[in-house]
Amino acid sequence: MSYIALARKWRPKRFAEMVGQEHVLRALSNALDSGRVHHAFLFTGTRGVGKTTVARILAKSLNCETGVTSNPCGVCAACREIDEGRFVDLIEVDAASRTKVDDTRELLDNVQYAPTRGRYKVYLIDEVHMLSNHSFNALLKTFEEPPPHVKFLLATTDPQKLPVTVLSRCLQFSLKRLSASLIGERLKFIAGAENLQFEPAAVALLARAADGSMRDALSLMDQLIAFGGGNLSEANSRSMLGTIDRGHVTRIIDALARQDGPGLLAHVRDLDRDAPDYDRALIEMAAFLQRIAIVQIVPDAAQQDEEFDAEALTRLAGAISPEDVQLYYQIALGGRRDLAMAPEPRVGFEMSLLRMLAFRPETAEAAPGAAVRAAAPAKGAAPAKAGAASVDRPPPARAAAAPAAAPAAPAFETIDAGNWAAVVEAAAMSGMTRQFAMNCVPAAFDNDLLRLQCDQAITDRRSKTTDDKLAQCLSTYFGREIRVVFATSDAALVTPARRRAMAEQDKIVRAAAAFEEDPTVKGLRERFGADVDATSVKPTN
């Protein structure tokens, strides 16, 4: 007996055997059980999600000898003949090969005749969007007023190409792409029923490669059975699909966690010996980093992951900060976009990894503002020599291992309106915290209690996170706990941000005046009657 492909052998024969598409199956089952069956159905969706399968089961439900039902018996003559593709009253039409209007008219000539064997004559038109406009026009009248014994089932991957006049005459059902988890569970069931030994990671790889299509997943499983001689292992699956050995990805991310630049490039050289697809390598890295991020939030998720090594996930989740994981993930995604413009794929891949090293945030061991405080000389200390570096930063690869520097003496003993902007800079405030602080004015600073005045506009943007971060930066800078309280002022405050804005505006005014007085500009105005666009004048410094 000839071999039957898994996609054909395991095609569902009743609605209960289908995986996913519950929103479609529920509507069809209710319609069949209540006797409210429309005369025309349109099933849309990407390839391999079950459009034709649903249509054939519906045809079987309509013609089962036990009656119209959502659960056909599967053993009567009509059910068996539909399963075997030889039921005379199920007319399957491939619209891609019968696009002409003459073909459609020939098809419709037989619509008026009663079914030969079944209860209904069912027309299943696959890839209906391939019909010509004349063919659609020929169908319209029949779609609108069909004989009571005829049902039309249309299937297409591109419903946008159908005329709205056809769409309005059909019940439309959009079949969704299946999730990798649903496909994986179905593949495991089929592998068990076929007495195949498999590794969960191999099945997970097939499910991901299927990209939402159950038929593609079963075809890939058939291919893997042939490739591995019946051995569904992760190694065989990766080799067949051309995916990267996860050991390479693990070692690369491990080197990133250690900030080991030489080791990172050495792993890239090892990877390059396998002539990999570097776009696929970045995809694997992004997938691994996403799992690490999940384990950082839900530690138990590592033991439930069938595709990734639980020990490696747990170890790397503890070795890399959540901020770094998010940064690496975004750089991996951006690297895929830039890969096509790189001189060669390996160069683009290496640059993505080097970005991950170069743009890594400061480690927790380096307290906020430590570098700036180190730059500020203590009282009585000798001034630094000219040309000496003001900030002594350790190399990025050894930043995590560098011991914390001893806190330097603060450059300011107190805080007032005159030095507030300098204190904000020295305390290394950044982001929203710095923006908020620059829009405040100190009112008093007594017994480590700082009172800040804010106008109403900035008060509305306050948050507990910003308040806590501001107090933390000041406490770290002064070497003792600083408490901060806020008050809203009705009067217009002269904040550092407002002074800076006023200074910038003054520079623009002076630049515009200097531009107007320029002899060349005056000559152009006198000779050509030109006007100066004052809004376009910008200061150069």
Q: Is the pLDDT of residue 511 over 70?
A: yes
For residue 175, the model assigns a pLDDT of 93
Residue 25 has pLDDT above 90, yes or no: yes
For the chain, percent of residues with pLDDT exceeding 90: 29
Are 153 and 55 a contacting pair, CB within 8 Å? yes
- Looking at residue 372, its pLDDT comes to 37
Please give the structure tokens belonging to residue 209. Answer: 């490669």
Q: What is the CATH number of domain 246-358?
A: 1.20.272.10
Name which residue leads in pLDDT, 539 or 71: 71
Report the C-alpha dihedral over residues 159, 160, 161, 162, rounded to 10 degrees.
Answer: 60
- Mean pLDDT of the region 478-486: 88
Among 166, 59, 28, residue whose Cα is nearest residue 121 = 59
pLDDT in tens, 137-180: 888 888 888 889 999 999 999 999 999 999 999 999 999 999 98
pLDDT of residue 411: 64
Residues 457 and 65: their CA atoms lie apart, in Å, by 75
Say whether domain 6-174 belongs to CATH 3.40.50.300.
Answer: yes
Per-residue pLDDT for 458 more than 50? Answer: yes
Please say if the pLDDT value at position 385 is more than 70: no
Residue 537 has pLDDT above 80, yes or no: no
- Indicate whether 186 pLDDT > 90: yes
Residue range 82-100: average pLDDT? 87
Q: Concatenate the DSSP letters of all residues of 9-77 into one string.
A: HT--SSGGG--S-HHHHHHHHHHHHHT---SEEEEE-STTSSHHHHHHHHHHHHH-TT-S-SS--S-SH
In which band, very low, low, confident or very high, does the pLDDT at 541 lie, cut at 50, 70 and 90?
Answer: low
Q: Band the pLDDT of 209: cuts 50, 70, 90.
A: confident
Residue 149 pLDDT: 92
DSSP notation for 278-335: HHHHHHHHHHHHHHHHHHHH-TTHHHH-SSS-HHHHHHHHHHS-HHHHHHHHHHHHHH
In the predicted model, what is the mean pLDDT of residues 32-36? 91
Helix 246-258, helix 345-358: angle, nearest 10: 30
Rg (CA), the chain: 36
Residue 338: pLDDT above 60?
A: yes
Q: How confident is the model at residue 335 (pLDDT cuts 50, 70, 90)?
A: very high
Q: What is the pLDDT of residue 105?
A: 84
AA letter at 164? V
Confidence at residue 394, expressed as pLDDT on a 0 to 100 scale: 43
Band of pLDDT at residue 463, cut at 50, 70 and 90: confident
- Candidates 3.30.1330.30, 1.10.287.3510, 1.10.8.60, 1.20.1300.10; correct CATH number of 188-241? 1.10.8.60
Residue 381 pLDDT:
42
pLDDT 10s digits, 244-263: 777 888 889 999 988 888 88
| Share above pLDDT 70 across residues of the chain, in percent, rounded to a whole number | 90
* CB burial of residue 493 (10 Å; 0-12, 13-18, 19+): middle
What is the predicted pLDDT for the residue at 361? 66
CA-to-CA distance for 471 and 477, rounded, in angstroms? 10
Which tens digits make up the pLDDT trace of 293-323? 999 998 888 887 767 778 888 889 888 989 8
pLDDT at position 362, please?
59
Residue among 410, 510, 423, 493 at smallest CA distance from 458: 493
> In a 10 Å sphere around its CB, with 0-12 CB exposed, 13-18 middle and 19+ buried, how is residue 150 labelled?
buried
> Binning pLDDT at 50, 70 and 90, where does residue 528 land?
confident
Average pLDDT rounded to a whole number, residues 59-88: 91
pLDDT of residue 400: 41
Calculate mean pLDDT across residues 391-413.
46
Place of tokens 């995809």: 283
pLDDT of residue 90: 93
The full set of domain ranges for the chain reads: 6-174, 188-241, 246-358, 420-494, 498-536
- Which of 208, 185, 350 has its CA nearest to residue 281? 350
**In the predicted model, what is the mean pLDDT of the chain?**
83
Q: Which CATH superfamily is 420-494 part of?
A: DNA polymerase III, tau subunit, domain V (3.30.300.150)
